Amino acid sequence: MVSRSDTSSRASNSDTSPPIGPVLDALIVGAGPAGIAAALTLKRAGIDVTVVDKAEFPRDKFCGDGLTTLALRLLDDLGLNPDLVESWAPVHDVLVTAPGGSTVTFPLPRDAGAFGAVAKRIDLDMALVDLARREGVTIHDGHACRGIERNGDHLVVDVEDLGPIGTRFVIAADGMWSPIRKMLGVATPGYLGEWHAFRQYFVDVGPAAADNLHVWFEPDLLPGYAWSFPLSGGRANVGFGILRGGDIATRDMKTIWPDLLKRPHIAAVLGPDAAPESPHRAWPIPARIPDIQLASGRTLFVGDAAAATDPMTGEGIGQALLTGIQAAESIIAGGSPAAVASRYVDEVRGELVADHHMAAALSKVLQYPLGADVAVKIAGATSWTRRNFARWLFEDYPRAVVLTPKRWRKNLFTSPGAYRE
Q: What is the pLDDT of residues 24-81, one digit of tens each?
A: 999 999 999 999 999 999 999 999 999 999 999 999 999 999 999 999 999 999 999 9
Q: Which of 82, 87, 41 is nearest to 63 (CA)?
A: 87
Closest CA to 127 of 37, 196, 262: 37
Output phi, psi for 157, to 5 deg. Answer: -110, 125
173 has pLDDT over 80:
yes
67: amino acid identity, one letter: L
pLDDT of residue 246: 87
Q: What is the largest CA-CA distance in the chain?
A: 67
Cα separation, 96 vs 174, whole angstroms = 33
Beta strands 275-276; 66-67: pairing state: unpaired
Residue 3 pLDDT class (50, 70, 90 cuts):
very low
Least-confidence region, from 76-80, 195-199, 400-404: 400-404
3-state secondary structure of 282: strand
| Pairing assessment for the beta strands 117-118 and 66-67 based on DSSP bridges | antiparallel
For residue 181, which of 360, 50, 302 has the smallest C-alpha distance?
302
> Following DSSP, what letter does each residue of 99-112 receive, concatenated?
TTS-EEEEEPPSSS
Q: What is the pLDDT of residues 122-162, one digit of tens each?
A: 999 999 999 999 999 999 999 999 999 999 899 999 999 99
Q: Is 233 left (phi over 0), alpha (psi -120 to 50) or beta?
A: left
Residue 177, pLDDT > 80, answer yes
- Tell me the pairing of strands 24-29 and 195-203: unpaired
Q: Which of 31, 36, 127, 120 shows the shortest CA–CA distance to 83?
A: 127
Q: What is the DSSP letter of 350?
A: I
On the question of a cis peptide bond just before residue 416, with omega within 30 degrees of 0, the verdict is: no
Question: By three-state DSSP, how is residue 140 classified?
Answer: strand
Task: Quick: pLDDT tens for 212-260.
Answer: 999 999 999 999 999 999 999 999 999 999 999 888 999 999 999 999 9
Amino acid identity, residue 296? S
| Domains parsed from the chain with CATH numbers | 24-63+123-191+287-358 (3.50.50.60), 66-118+193-285 (3.30.9.30)
Instruction: Summarize pLDDT for 5-23 with one digit per residue, the tens.
Output: 333 334 544 443 554 578 9
- Whole-number Å distance between alpha carbons of 117 and 419: 11
Chain-centre distance of CA 154, in angstroms? 29
pTM: 0.94
Report the number of secondary-structure helices (H) and strands (E) in the chain. 12, 19
CA distances from 67 to 62, 226, 296, 357 (A): 14, 17, 30, 21
